[in-house]
Amino acid sequence: MSFEPKILAFCCHHCAYGAADLSGVLRLQYPVNIQIIRVPCSGRISEEHILDAFVKGADGVCVAGCLKGNCHYQSGNLRAGKRVEILKNRLADIGIEPERLHMFYVSAGMGAPFARFMAELVETIRDLGPAFNGQEREGGEQLDSRTS
């Protein structure tokens, strides 16, 4: 059976959520692997929320905020971008592929690009495989050899 990744998308109410809506109105297809959570601003999303998604089984997470300069709260999207950037490093530090986490900047009118981004993200994560497959232990790898 092929691997179907679970991906969580935190979408800003003012832009990305609208873009998702528009892509639906335009009857554009994007994979069902994406689950959207509407947030008042991408800047509302902290490291904790993203990590929680991974802990609870997400294989990939994306944060989608307004185009740079268009945030309804001035700089929430830029903050979110910074947090994502730093969190990517922290994920890489513990051996998780940083590509599992993405930041998108879109406007409410970008229905088609939104659908395309999501499709691409699903492909990226599908290629990476599940975040935790528990296979390493069966492969006989020493537990602490990954971390030392």
State both tokens at 57: 């089984």
Rule CB under 8 A: which residues touch another protein? 46-48, 51-52, 54-55, 90-91, 93-96, 131-132, 134-138, 143-144, 146-148
Contact (CB, 8 A) for 101 and 5 = no
Least distance between another protein and beta carbon 60 (Å)? 13
Comparison of 38 and 146: residue with beta carbon closer to another protein = 146
Comparison of 14 and 100: residue with beta carbon closer to another protein = 100
The contacts of residue 144 (CB under 8 Å, 6+ apart) are none
State both tokens at 3: 């691997």
Residue the block writes with tokens 């599992």 = 100
Comparison of 14 and 126: residue with beta carbon closer to another protein = 126
Comparison of 106 and 125: residue with beta carbon closer to another protein = 125
Least distance between another protein and beta carbon 42 (Å)? 18
Least distance between another protein and beta carbon 105 (Å)? 22
Q: Residue 10: phi, psi to the nearest 5? A: -85, 110
Q: Is 8 helix (H, G, I), strand (E, B) or coil?
A: strand
State both tokens at 33: 């692997």
Least distance between another protein and beta carbon 27 (Å)? 37
